[in-house]
Structure 1
Amino acid sequence: MAQSPLPPVKGVRLASVPAGLQDWQRDDLLLVEIDKGAAVSAVFTQNPFAAAPVVVAREHLRRGRIRALLVNAGNANAATGAHGLEDARACCAAVAETLAVRPEQVLPFSTGVIGEHLPLQKLLDAIPPAAAQLCQRGWDCAAQAILTTDTRAKTANRTLEINGEQVTVTGIAKGAGMIQPNMATMLAYVATDAAIAQSLLDTLAKEAVGASFNRICVDGDTSTNDACVLIATGAAGGPDITPGDAGYRALRQAITEVHIALAQAIVQDGEGASKFVTVQVTEAKSPEEALAVAFAVGRSPLVKTALYASDPNWGRLVMAIGNGIRGGLDTRRVHISLDEVAVVEAGSRAPGYREAQGAAVFAKAAFTIHIALGRGHCSEHIWTCDFSHGYVTINAEYRS
């Protein structure tokens, strides 16, 4: 069954075109125009080697209302020095001239190979044709244009009614490798036509990213280019939605659900991945400890290769748990189960556990590793995937 087109968001127009940034026959440049008066928030990578477009986008967000986004695939414009910053700013200036806005009202984004300069003229030449094609129903093509090693587009949407008006939340993302907070090698763009004040939108963006993109792991590497943008145009009508309004909780949930769906889609499309695994940690001293243990398990190459082999080598799980703990751990209080199968009880093999039970769970396409630390009352979870021969091949041949 064909997937339905993504519903448009009033106040957002998109267009994607082929700029020829790599040796491929596809759209690789996305232009997004945003209505005047919209609120725009963004969360970026914490990698100190932040790419030139990240540096410029941060600067522009601090300076005023954002009116446009420009996204290119195939070249990260990272580790490119002053030249890279000049290129990112030149792209913003070109978009500004085309759309009759100011350069600081444009946010640039790039994804692809690190350490190479942008083929700037190709980008500049592609901007006017993209501007000529801007339309509200450009979301599906946009989702395809931003991909790199992804095998499929990542899209999500929710619709709801607030104060008698239909409100839409639509999002797209890319990412398949170099995935680990903060945030992952990923780009994500989510928009709603609800009216949300800038300060509240900033809060919602951080909350949604914390519940989604900062809980995924493919290989444990944090990219130079990560960015997640949340847009609220207000074009659906009505006053700004505030936490005291009846529809606020539903809108907050819809925004978070779209972020989570996109984040999970990235893990499911992890480079070479065949398993989607939730790591749930309970009975931790703090949320931070629970997340540290979950990520220690979720990014362990030994655990991830066992997942791929459908080998329930639970010794690798206890090893990884120990690596995630800071301070003493009473291992006699640790319990581990795979879905409903108890594997470790009181720090050692569960008396009733049989290898075939664990193998049956590990053979599933999706399952949960439950870890109880016996140290407190805090719980957290992440989503991860396996390491396969495909991951090595994709990354060994990435520039070939």
Structure 2
Amino acid sequence: MDTLAFRKLTDWLVDGARSAPSPPQMMAETCERLVAAGLPLARVGVFVRTLHPDIVGRNFVWRAGSEVVVGSANYEMLDSEEYRTSPLAIVFAKGCEIRAKLDGPDGNRFPIFAELREEGTTDYIALPLLNVDGSVHASSWTTKQPGGFTDMQLKALRELIPPLSRLIEVTRLRFMSSILLDTYVGNRAGERILGGQIRRGHTEIMQAAIWLSDLRGFTALSDRLPAETVIEILNQYFDCQVSAIATHGGEVLKFMGDGLLAVFPFDEYVGDMGHACAKVLEAACEARANVEAMQFPIGETVERFRFGVALHVGQILYGNIGGGNRLDFTCIGPAVNLAARLEKMASRLHRTVVASAAFAKSCPDRWDELGEFPIAGFSKAERVFGLSDETAGANALPLAGHSSGSVVNSSG
């Protein structure tokens, strides 16, 4: 081992690995420096748990002569046979080291060792990465060197773990902060919060298409079903919309009971007004089809659902609003208020999708004018438009072919 090169590597890690700003770059440079220092690595894996509603952790795998491969694991992985019979399961559970020479008495202890042996691996060691907060993460190191790792090489790996753990912890916390903000306030708002836009009054004006939707019959639904069932229904119902919104360039800002507020900024995700509104309309039609197809069995009946969505375009104020040290990153303005009023109008008109005159003008040819209506809180009446492929009569009737089920179809 080249002790000077190894010491430079640990100093580089302690200093924040500044020449490798991303986790894959940091891992690649770390492994390449170790090899250059005389440690004959074949494969290195780093496995880090995170806080994410769908992903239990991320993995980074380096192989000699290849780029770092980044992957993720869902929560179902924890119950898989592959994980439960792996050395990493023990490392995560007990925070202990696992070492085995693959031609020795422990060479068949774990199923993965047979696969590694076929690749020519001679030695394996898994080392825990202990974070200051008490959480345990894992790393694995292999070599194809005849006879396996030497005692000096193993000592170097163990000495590397503390500075590597500190740097991984800092990176992990930054990643988790980003994920949590994306999960709870959205990507666009999350970027601004992490960027320092955290004081009350930090706001900006933007032009956007506005989406405001509501589940029909939610009050009656909540009254007659257990709370746990209602939550499960809401989650499925929101799934019908969120994927469509995200796919077409929008961002969900807020869930309000059974209501959903989303925006499609013109200048960032989806381009000019006409293009933005066309994408919003595609998302609305996709969400409509998803909700129409949604079924929820309860006893001997099958619940079917309808929702309403109002679409509008206008100027919104986007940023931090609140009291004291409790803030909300949201949007306000007359345009948002009008969208909320139009959503209630959709229920009265027995329509699924309605739009303001401004929105319908931006993507014409698919709308029928439904009339001009006074809007509470606004001095002027508003022309309201409905999709040409919908009719009030059809949307007011229960769905056919489901006599054993019920249809949630009253106003919320």
> Which TM-score tier does this pair reach, normalised by the shorter chain?
0.3 to 0.5
The structure whose residues are more often strand, as a share, is: 2
Q: TM-score, normalised by structure 2?
A: 0.31
Question: Which one has the bigger helix percentage?
Answer: 2
Report the TM-score when normalising by structure 1: 0.32
Q: Which has more radius of gyration?
A: 2
**Relative contact order higher in (CA < 8 Å, ≥ 6 apart):** 1
